[in-house]
Amino acid sequence: MTDLSARLGIKDAGNEVILSHHSAKTEIVRFVEGHNIDLIILGARGHHVLADLLGGSTATGVVRVAPCDVFTVRRVG
Map out the domains of the chain with their CATH numbers: 22-77 (3.40.50.620)
Mean pLDDT value across residues 41-66 = 75
Average pLDDT of every residue of the chain: 79
54-63 contacts, C-beta under 8 A, 24 or more apart: 58/23, 58/24, 58/25, 58/28, 61/23, 61/25, 62/25, 62/28, 62/29
pLDDT value for 70: 93
> Which pLDDT band holds residue 49 (cuts at 50, 70, 90)?
low
Q: Is the pLDDT of residue 1 over 60?
A: no
Mean pLDDT value across residues 44-55 = 62
> Which pLDDT band holds residue 65 (cuts at 50, 70, 90)?
very high
Core vs surface per residue 45-74: b (16+ CB within 10 A) or e: eeeeeeeeeeeebbbbbbbeebeeebeeee
